[in-house]
Structure 1
Amino acid sequence: MTLPGVLLLDAAGPEAGFLATAAAVRGHQVHAATTAAAYAGYGPELRGLLAGRVVTDFARPGRALDEIAVYARRHGVGAVLTVNEYLTSLAAHLCAELGVPGNDPAASRAARDKAVMAEVFAAAGVRTPYTVLVQDGAGLRAALADPRVGFPCVIKPLSAAGSAGVTVVSGPGGAVEAADTARAAVGMHKSGGDPPILVQAYAAGTEYSIESLTQDSTTTHLAVTRKWVTGDPKRVETGHSLPVRLPPAVEAAVYREVEAALRASGIRHGASHTEVIVGEDGRCTVIEIGARLAAGQIGVLIQHALGIDVWAALLDVALGRPAALAPTARGYATVRFVTSPRAGRLTSLSGFPTTGPGVPFARLRAAIGSTVHEPGANGHRLGSFVVTGLDAAEVEERADAQLRRIRIEVEPHHHGEPGPAPDRSARTDR
């Protein structure tokens, strides 16, 4: 019997590679929908897993949908997946076009456009920060004067990802610069003119993310993840750790808010990554949601800490088959993101860990001689590594010790030499 083919929308990055491997090991032909530029960057291992590809232009989603659907039907595709934040809406529409399990295409914009997301959350009664859509300078001044916003507040792009363009503003003085930063974070597709931005009330508390899988509109929460971030104003992620054990009443409240957010976003088949803030009073505020598996090696953390084959589970959900989601291990895992201390040219990097016992994943992304940034977005990471074990404190200590052993030397840009280019990161698979 011929198994259905599996199509990945944008197969770049480690998460997509894990998905492609899981499908190929099970005997499925793996196909990629990609751009010519992206395919040129695929490594030989990934290319060797692909039975075929369709080259399209994701900046023209209507045309891309038609081209990919024709290809998918021709090649017997029975499952569509993506780990690219910017392609989750296209994935929902493609699944509907092909008649395979997927999210509600009519609601899929709510998982990408953060203004729409805030609207549907509020309409559904989800506890979420008060949010104002800002078109221009007058709108920015009005938003900052709105007592429902207050200070500090968050200024961020409408549809970027990976923390790009997000600034916590403590007063009116930094708002204009923060707005310019948000507008510059264009994400995957640059549009003409000045894009609108969001001004959002600040939610105080501890940051977590909830990693979930939904099948036939029934959600299983795989893990609560602790998010480690830099201080204000950028608050860029520096690591993730899981699983976190919240007090039962707090956990139940968090899951209720998350499930309401999933329903409002039309998520009915597939992975989701929900960012939340839990206040000192235990109340949960949903910040935003992604209709995809979390990036930043969270899938690797789940696999090694809990024994859940998240890649096989994602494949099963996409194929409409029961997924094995029960933990088979009781471990702990953390990831550390390696960043540059300053902007400039990377001249030396030593002490980066290699994979081995207790370190199942280590990936260096930056090459000597390349331009590097101070951490302003997740795409500025130089690399990452995962540490695992049975005791949370011991794992965190080993990860921090390994991070301290890494030595990074950066030559600042000289006067008149072009500095780092604005962030144009199109992915969250870092």
Structure 2
Amino acid sequence: MTTPIPMRTPTTTPMTWICLLGPSTAGARAIALHGHRLVVLASPGEAVPREVTAHAERVVFCDITDHDATRSVVDRLTAELGPPRLVVSFTEHAQEVSARIATGLGLTSVSPAAAAHARDKAAMRRLLADTPYAWPYAAGTADEVATAVRAEPDGVCWIVKPADGAGSAGVTALESYADLERWHAKVTAGQGPRTQGTAGEQAGAVRYIAEHAATGPEYSVEAVSAAGQHTVLAITAKQTTGSPRFVETGHVVPAPLPEEDGERLKDAVRCVLDRLGIHHGASHTELRLDPVHGPVVIETHTRVGGDCIPELVALATGRDQYDHAIAALLGTEPAQPSAPAAPAAAISFVTPPAPGTLTGLSLTPAHGILRWQFDRVPGADLTELHSSYDRIGYAIALGGTPAEAMRTAAEATAGVQLQVAAPELSL
């Protein structure tokens, strides 16, 4: 079932249209900057920001993770509006659907195979097996992963997570056989994370990937590819909670690291993109810089990063990854180059102090904060910090250096006062 928002009457000469899967505010803005009419497809019940509807001629609700349902909508729109110029998505779980539809229509896009390989972390590992970035791993059901971990000595640290997961959901460090047994008992009892497979995928056992734990600082590389040529826009330094869940708590652009190390990370990312066949569009690749092994690839995505990373990139470099991605797909230049707002930009997240109900929230005035955002307000239920989805809000700061920007953002979020009522005990 689809529910359209009526189309506005165009006030200018009709232009070609672009179909955007998922109501991405920055994606909608980038498409509008390039002078194309915009039609947005959103999942039923999904909130569509006002900024998106301001740019869109139409919003149609359908299951954007279901290829057949989405293709049917695109075909009906094509019969009415003519062929689209692009079908694109900046939403993780619509990547394969978007790629299949675009490729089927003969449009420039990341390939369906590349989108699938990026979402399947085990497939990525297989494709990197004969490169300098190969890394020990095991993949399969919980039973198969447990068997592989037990085949190595007790005390070898593994990181296990759903093979198609995102947002740190389900990430767990297994530092011993005892950790393994606890994890295995939990997931086989149905208490583990659910993967986000598309509607077209057959139901079955959750698949996991376990990898030897790397050490060293974490980074992500934000890039855009055009006809197989990869341009790195920025490298982001990441802060996490560390073992066992590695939930991200902050980011800063540009990453403060020596130029030589930056080039090593870029080389690793170019190898990943080439091996996975990611020739078009945006990408976000996460890595560690291990002091012994060098760059260790954690995962890559055929989209921009989350956690406002593209905003940090734009603030610190003047380059909008959404704009660059649309330009690359259209075969043109970015629509709106701009100057950096500051030499560095950072984000720091507010995390729940304890499970319960949020009853109060107050801020301490902080200098240098560009903006605040809170996803939880008084009355909301809080849980322990298991994944990115459990965070409460964030602050974005500018600075003259990466260290200054990160310090300003972190001090601001540390000053947030939260009142939490403990959950009632059931009798």
| Residues 386 and 73 (structure 1), Cα distance of their counterparts in 2 relative to 1, 3 Å cut | farther
Instruction: Tell me the secondary structure at the aligned position of residue 360 of structure 1.
Output: strand
Give the alignment partner of residue 96 of structure 2, picking from 89, 92, 100.
Answer: 89
1:345 Cα shift?
1.2
Task: Name the residue aligned to 1:397.
Answer: 407
1:83 Cα shift?
2.0
Task: Name the residue aligned to 2:8.
Answer: none
Task: Name the residue aligned to 2:15.
Answer: 3
Task: Name the residue aligned to 1:428.
Answer: none
Q: Which amino acid aligns with 1:384?
A: Y
Task: Name the residue aligned to 1:186.
Answer: 195
CA distance in 1 between counterparts of 2:324 and 2:365 reads 29
Q: Which runs of 5+ in 2 are unaligned?
A: 1-12
1:171 is the counterpart of 2:176:
yes
CA distance in 2 between counterparts of 1:10 and 1:353 reads 35
1:377 is the counterpart of 2:384:
no
Q: Is the 8 A contact 2:110 2:278 kept in 1?
A: yes
1:21 Cα shift?
2.4
CA deviations 1:263-322 (Å, max 9, x no partner) are 122211111110111012471111110110111011110111111133322221232213
Task: Name the residue aligned to 2:105.
Answer: 98
Instruction: Tell me the secondary structure at the aligned position of residue 117 of structure 2.
Output: helix
Q: Which runs of 5+ in 1 are unaligned?
A: 418-430
Q: Which amino acid aligns with 1:159?
A: D
Q: Is the 8 A contact 2:370 2:396 kept in 1?
A: yes
Give the alignment partner of residue 356 of structure 2, picking from 344, 350, 358.
Answer: 344
CA distance in 2 between counterparts of 1:388 and 1:208 reads 19
1:326 Cα shift?
8.3
1:397 Cα shift?
2.5
Q: Is the 8 A contact 1:334 1:396 kept in 2?
A: yes
Task: Name the residue aligned to 2:157.
Answer: 152
Q: How do residues 10-409 of structure 1 correspond to structure 2 at under 5 angstroms?
A: 10-11=22-23, 16-38=24-46, 41-72=47-78, 74-75=80-81, 76-123=83-130, 125-137=131-143, 139-147=144-152, 151-179=156-184, 180=186, 183-187=192-196, 192-281=203-292, 283-323=294-334, 328-329=339-340, 331-351=343-363, 358-409=368-419
Q: Which amino acid aligns with 1:117?
A: M
Q: Is the 8 A contact 2:255 2:402 kept in 1?
A: no
1:94 Cα shift?
1.9
1:189 Cα shift?
5.2
| Residues 246 and 405 (structure 1), Cα distance of their counterparts in 2 relative to 1, 3 Å cut | closer
1:206 Cα shift?
1.2
Q: Which amino acid aligns with 1:155?
A: V
Pick which of 235-244 and 341-350 moved more: 341-350
Q: Is the 8 A contact 1:342 1:374 kept in 2?
A: yes
1:204 Cα shift?
1.4
CA distance in 2 between counterparts of 1:370 and 1:282 reads 43
CA distance in 2 between counterparts of 1:256 and 1:324 reads 28
Instruction: Determine what percentage of the aligned residue pairs are the same residue.
Output: 25
Q: Which amino acid aligns with 1:28?
A: H
Instruction: Tell me the secondary structure at the aligned position of residue 252 of structure 2.
Output: strand
The higher-RCO structure (CA 8 Å, 6+ apart) is 1
1:215 Cα shift?
0.9
What value does the CA root-mean-square deviation take over the aligned residues? 2.6
Task: Name the residue aligned to 1:422.
Answer: none
CA distance in 1 between counterparts of 2:154 and 2:27 reads 41
Instruction: Tell me the secondary structure at the aligned position of residue 37 of structure 1.
Output: coil
* Count of aligned residue pairs for this structure pair: 407
1:194 Cα shift?
3.1
1:145 Cα shift?
2.4
Task: Name the residue aligned to 1:423.
Answer: none
Using structure 2 for the length normalisation, give the TM-score. Answer: 0.87
1:82 Cα shift?
1.9
Q: Is the 8 A contact 1:73 1:98 kept in 2?
A: no
CA distance in 1 between counterparts of 2:78 and 2:258 reads 46
1:69 Cα shift?
4.3
Using structure 1 for the length normalisation, give the TM-score. Answer: 0.87
| Residues 94 and 361 (structure 1), Cα distance of their counterparts in 2 relative to 1, 3 Å cut | farther
Q: Which amino acid aligns with 1:200?
A: E
1:74 Cα shift?
3.6
Instruction: Tell me the secondary structure at the aligned position of residue 140 of structure 1.
Output: helix
Q: Is the 8 A contact 1:10 1:33 kept in 2?
A: yes
Pick which of 188-197 and 155-164 moved more: 188-197
